[in-house]
A = this chain, B = another copy of it.
């Protein structure tokens, strides 16, 4: 079928925009990894220039004109065709970008930069009041953003949609509420169990060179390509895909804490393998892009938790781990180690939470954000509301706001509507994983033999290679035959932690 020339014109424009953004991404990666201290001011100027050029390209009227010419899906092969998906997603992004007044974009960007500085100081001082004026500004601006973008039911929908296209507050609530209802009693039962894994095994001395080597080997073994990627160190671990053939992971090492770097590496490698599995020929267009933050997180959390914290994974890797860390693990059995890396223990800090309690941290934030954007919770009331919820979910109250409502960078950076995607990722991941098990057979037997390619191939075929052809909700239905549900995640958690804790 011959596609209209406006289609190839659009693809060419998107590709140039993608290249420009990938330059921004490399500069951002370098900023976090190798930039010398005095280079920060120049870097800010470079990034501002590239962001301006990218915004100009993304909102250029020519893209609107090409999209208008392509509004009829028939010459593209019908509404379900790949070209129609490209047009649909491009239209969505273009609409969103052009609805935002330039002044609001600039004000948000400026406020986010200053607000992050204020947040760093406030967290250090354990002082919510110090951050309050900035939170008020951010929430006010995000409300304006939601109004500019538009919504049907909840203002919050307009913000959620940026990170998880197609999702709404109502849908998220319908999925997350039953999850909470089942999670809270599970957490309570585990807390009462007599089984107490010895997590202190993991805070012995783990020489950093050996951690680096072992983590790299594991990332490679599960399928991350070092021919098309790297693993470096950064203060805040992340994965940055630049485009075909180049994906950068970072982690951070602590000699006294094995899980941080190791599971962080598996997590980022999970993100990285998604990036490496995108179809290179569609780079720059929605067909060569990841679907949503939730789907992205489904990949990272799957490799980190469903694979990396499984008994079968360690059946394969534990002998090597003992060889790499003879001092720490020489006298530790596989079973003790497996239980240690799966210790469930309520904690103040989200990023240090285990597989079970993690989602409660997210639910709390999801509810707080809705209240803030709807105006039902005033920014000044955040600490009280936070601590009350925390008490009811975890049975304990944060001793200060640095361990409570100002622990995360997200709000200060203007990322409101983002948190839910972490738990969506856990749910998508569990649902995909259950389906992969059905399709592929005994995954555990494969992992125990160090065979990870069948799972990765399955993800490549069913998810990665599709780009944004399907939106997230459609994807999960297409692959698993069911809409997104909390059940596969709860089944996984109940089975796994039931066995560990005897509950």
Is the beta-carbon distance between B38 and A30 smaller than 8 angstroms? Answer: no
Binary interface profile of A, 219-230, with partner B (CB < 8 Å = 1, else 0)?
Answer: 000000111111
Q: CA–CA, A45 to B243, complex, Å?
A: 11
Q: Which of A230-286 contact B (CB under 8 A)?
A: 230, 232, 242-246, 283
Binds B, one of A20-28, A126-134, A192-200, A392-400: A20-28
A440-475: which residues lie under 8 A (CB-CB) from chain B? none
Number of interface residues of A (CB under 8 A): 36
Report whether B23 and A230 are in contact in the complex, using a CB–CB cutoff of 8 Å: no
Would you call A42 and B22 a contact (CB within 8 A)?
yes
Contact of A226 among B26, B36, B226 (CB under 8 A): B36
Q: Contacts of A225 on B, CB cut-off 8 Å?
A: 38
Partner of A46, one of B22, B36, B41, B42: B22
List the B residue with the shortest CB-CB distance to A230: B36
Asked whether any CB of chain B lies closer than 8 Å to the CB of A410, the reply is no
Q: How far, in Å, is A317 (CB) from chain B's closest CB?
A: 24
Q: Chain B residues near A242 (CB, 8 Å)?
A: 39, 42
- Knowing A36-B227, A227-B36, A230-B34 touch, does A245 contact B41 (C-beta < 8 A)? yes
Flag whether A50 is at the interface (Cβ < 8 A). Answer: yes
Q: Please tell me which one of the listed residues B23, B36, B53, B246 contacts residue A38 in the complex, with CB atoms under 8 A apart.
A: B246
Contact A49 B228 (CB under 8 A): no
- Choose one: B27, B37, B228; the contact of A26 (CB below 8 Å): B27
- Contact assessment for A19 and B228 in the assembled complex, using a CB-CB cutoff below 8 Å: no
What residues on B are CB-neighbors of A49 within 8 Å? 16, 19-20, 23
The verdict on A345 contacting chain B, using a C-beta distance below 8 Å, is no
* Interfacial chain B residues near A53, Cβ < 8 Å: 53
| Partner-B contacts on A (CB < 8 A) | 16, 19-20, 22-23, 26-27, 30, 34-43, 45-46, 49-50, 53, 225-230, 232, 242-246, 283
* Bound complex: CA A37 to CA B228 (Å): 6
A19-B49, A30-B26, A50-B23 in contact; A42/B244 too (CB < 8 A)?
yes
- Complex: A27 Cα to B27 Cα, angstroms: 8
How many chain copies does the complex carry?
A: 2
How far does the Cβ of A339 sit from chain B's closest Cβ, in whole Å? 37
Closest to A38 in B: B245
A-B contact pairs, 6 of them (CB 8 A): A22-B42, A38-B227, A38-B245, A39-B228, A42-B242, A42-B283
Which residue of chain B has the shortest Cβ distance to A229 in the bound complex? B36
Minimum CB–CB distance for A17 against chain B, Å: 10
Is B34 a contact partner of A46 (Cβ separation < 8 A)? Answer: no
Instruction: Tell whether, in the assembled complex, residue A245 and residue B40 are in contact, meaning their CB atoms are under 8 Å apart.
Output: yes
Interchain residue pairs A-B with the least CB separation, the first 3: A39-B246, A38-B245, A38-B228
Residues from chain B with Cβ under 8 Å of A42 in the complex: 22, 242-246, 283
Residues of B within 8 A of A243 (CB): 42, 46
> For the complex, what is the distance from the CA of A421 to the CA of B497, rounded to whole Å?
70
Q: How distant is the Cα of A42 from the Cα of B283 in the complex, in angstroms?
A: 10
- A403 → chain B, closest Cβ, in Å? 29
Q: Tell me the complex Cα distance, A38–B22, Å.
A: 15
Q: Given known contacts A22-B46, A36-B245, A42-B283, what 6 new A-B pairs fall within 8 Å (CB)?
A: A23-B46, A26-B30, A35-B246, A36-B227, A37-B228, A38-B245
Which chain B residue has the least Cβ–Cβ distance from A41? B245
The answer to whether residues A41 and B244 also contact, given A22-B46, A30-B30 and a CB cut-off of 8 A, is yes
CB distance from A109 to the nearest CB of B (A): 13
Q: Write the chain B residue with the least CB distance to A53.
A: B53
When C-beta atoms are compared, the residue in chain B nearest to A42 turns out to be B243
- Chain B's closest residue to A37 (CB) is B227
Q: B45 near A19 (CB under 8 angstroms)? A: yes
Query: Are B23's CB and A245's CB within 8 A?
Result: no
Interface centre among A27, A45, A50, A229 (most CB of B within 10 A): A45
How far apart are the CA atoms of A28 and B412 in the complex, in Å?
29
In the complex, A26→B45 CA distance in Å?
Answer: 14
Closest to A246 in B: B39
- Whether A23 pairs with B27 at a CB distance below 8 angstroms is yes
Contacts of A16 in B (CB 8 A): 49
A341 to B42 alpha-carbon distance, docked (Å): 39
**Least distance between A160 CB and chain B CB atoms (Å):** 31
List of B residues within 8 angstroms of A26 by Cβ: 26-27, 30, 46
Q: How far is the CA of A273 from the CA of B38 in the complex (A)?
A: 14
CB-CB under 8 A from A27, the residues of chain B are: 23, 26
A35: which B residues are within 8 A, CB to CB?
246
Residues of B within 8 A of A229 (CB): 36
Cβ contact within 8 Å between B23 and A23: yes
- Evaluate contact between B30 and A46: CB separation under 8 angstroms: no
Contacts of A227 in B (CB 8 A): 36-38
